[in-house]
Amino acid sequence: MFYQRTLKNSVTVEGVGLHSGKPSSVVISPAGPGTGIVFVSCGVVIPASYENVTDTGLATTLGKSGVSVRTVEHLLAALSGLGVDNAVVEVDGPEVPVMDGSADAFVEALHSAGITVQEAHRRYIKVVKPLTVHDGDKSASILPSPVPRVTFRIDFDHPMIADQRLSLELDADTFVEEVASTRTFGFLKDVERLQNAGLALGGSLANAVVVDDGKVLNEEGLRYPDEFVRHKILDAIGDVSLSGMPIIGHLVMDKSGHALNHRLVRELVANPECWVILEGADVPGIESSLSLTEAV
């Protein structure tokens, strides 16, 4: 994992948009070293960067020059979780297709395309001092750690969810086995309100876990007893990848969501005393250390 990686071949994923309800597809293609993850919609190139986040309401939206792409977090999580540094994502439709509400379809597509190592060193953000952002009783932190790690806690006033907490050391195997297949979730009582507001128009039991009073409505039930907190970890992996580089640190999230995830990334970039950039073929026995400002 010391060298940048991209796809061997292009691959297409087709489905429906969770919020728009409209058909949508993405073509994910190889890209050269240093490209990063780049979305293309209506001819506009939108780098997958915290700087291009335009909305965090119920999904993460990227935009530039009046063009936006919504619901990017699951695809970003799949790319980040599998260690893909460089790719071009051409989007046909207003948002990335939701598929089954998880990152499984994207993981399968990336595996089918193949992943290849490039002749360029990867750069890492290594956290050296803790940083925390708050929103009322919610918080998101990044702490020093020798390896990438995430700890997430949720607390919903609902008997099917309640207080759940999970901590994982993050690598490609753990992502695929423990996180990628977890689905987005919502409450039946909120569906009508959301759809009246033009949201969740493509939502169904085929692409989300829907919870009613005291039960899960999906016939197959949950994929994990704590699928809810695992999906929050999936979202966070996608959101935090918008820092532009893999992070060596410990994400600690307490009831965080898209908005707070993005605030954490912005605050991290704005506080250079909290990190260094590592670059080289031997991490942590590193060849050079750069400032984040110089690197991005």
Q: Which residues are catalytic?
A: 258
CB atoms within 10 A of CB 150: 22
Q: Report how far residue 217's alpha carbon sits from residue 197's, in angstroms, rounded to the nearest whole number.
A: 23
Three-class SS state of 90: strand
Cα distances from 275 to residues 62, 85, 116, 169, 255, in angstroms, run 25, 20, 28, 19, 24
- In a 10 Å sphere around its CB, with 0-12 CB exposed, 13-18 middle and 19+ buried, how is residue 226 labelled? middle
Three-class SS state of 258: helix
Helices then strands, each counted (H, E), the chain? 7, 22
Whether residue 148 is preceded by a cis peptide bond, meaning omega within 30 degrees of 0, is no
CB atoms within 10 A of CB 111: 13
